[in-house]
A = this chain, B = another copy of it.
């Protein structure tokens, strides 16, 4: 079968045997994979990564211990947790210290024709959700994670910095949950996608200082955090959603003087994301920039870093 491999910056195609399916795991045929900024960071050396990336996917179960999974269209939570530690017992397997992570830490990713995941990680994709839209469940869950971490009052103004793939999902999630979202970005065409679903989208030229109680940094840039801190009110909260490889320089003085709270935010539960898509409260169709065959992954990765690109999907033949 065909698998993508990242190795010191290169995107390689490999022919590999079908993966072994351990007990409790499902063998899944890839339908679509989505390229995330984290994949691009992995390509650049984040985590010293070498191997098969891919953690956004929708697939069809080919084999499983539990018969009812076979033939189902599924997505999967990406943290493979031990299921027994204190974190897992608290329902926070995504912080399990023994976890591996699909396509990121010690478990080969989804950018291959067949992949494996524990059955307990799987979610059935409801019939109302188109297959290519289901790829967005993972990043949408990451956007929804914000709502699990902070309680934003209905009607509160929230600045979302960034008009990339994740930023646009976050804007929609916060908008759907009742926030008055101000989405800031540098790309008119991307901001239009936000504006078209009713979000107040603004070109990030002169950014207001000290204005917002809630700011989300989804710029994906090392400067985003400092900008977000500047835009926050005293005692305000900045949600950190930009995974940046390497050190980030921040001026800690305004954080301390204004008593800003910074909250790191990563993966989320799939349930709320599936519900948002099923209820059509979030639009993802226009976030798909291109669908390319898996064997064109090197091109797809190049395409994904171009300024105009949003989500690039990979599809086996």
Contacts and interface: CB of A to CB of B under 8 A. Distances in A.
Given A225-B252, A252-B242, A266 B262 contact: no
B259 A261 contact: no
Interface in A223-269: 225, 234-235, 240-266
A24 interface: no
Q: List the number of copies, as a whole number.
A: 2
A78 to B, nearest CB: 12
Contact of A262 (B97, B245, B255, B265): B255
Given A95-B235, A248-B251, A266 B256 contact: yes
Contacts of A264: 252, 254-261
A95 B257 CA distance: 8
B263 A259 contact: yes
A149 interface: yes
A46 interface: yes
A250 B222 CA distance: 11
Given A247-B249, A250-B247, A240 B255 contact: yes
Nearest to A246: B251
Interface size class of A (residues with CB under 8 A): 35 or more
B244 A46 contact: no
A301 interface: no
A301 B101 CA distance: 52
A149 B263 CA distance: 14
Given A210-B97, A262-B261, A264-B260, A243 B253 contact: yes
Nearest to A248: B252
A92 interface: yes
Contacts of A92: 234-235
Interface in A40-97: 46, 87, 92, 95, 97
A274 to B, nearest CB: 21
A253 B240 CA distance: 10
- Best-buried of A225, A242, A264, A265 by chain B (most CB within 10 Å): A264
B259 A266 contact: yes
B149 A95 contact: no
A230 to B, nearest CB: 13
A234 B86 CA distance: 12
- Best-buried of A243, A245, A253 by chain B (most CB within 10 Å): A253
B252 A249 contact: no
Contacts of A210: 97
12 contacts: A46-B253, A240-B252, A241-B256, A248-B249, A252-B264, A255-B264, A256-B265, A256-B266, A257-B264, A259-B264, A261-B263, A262-B263
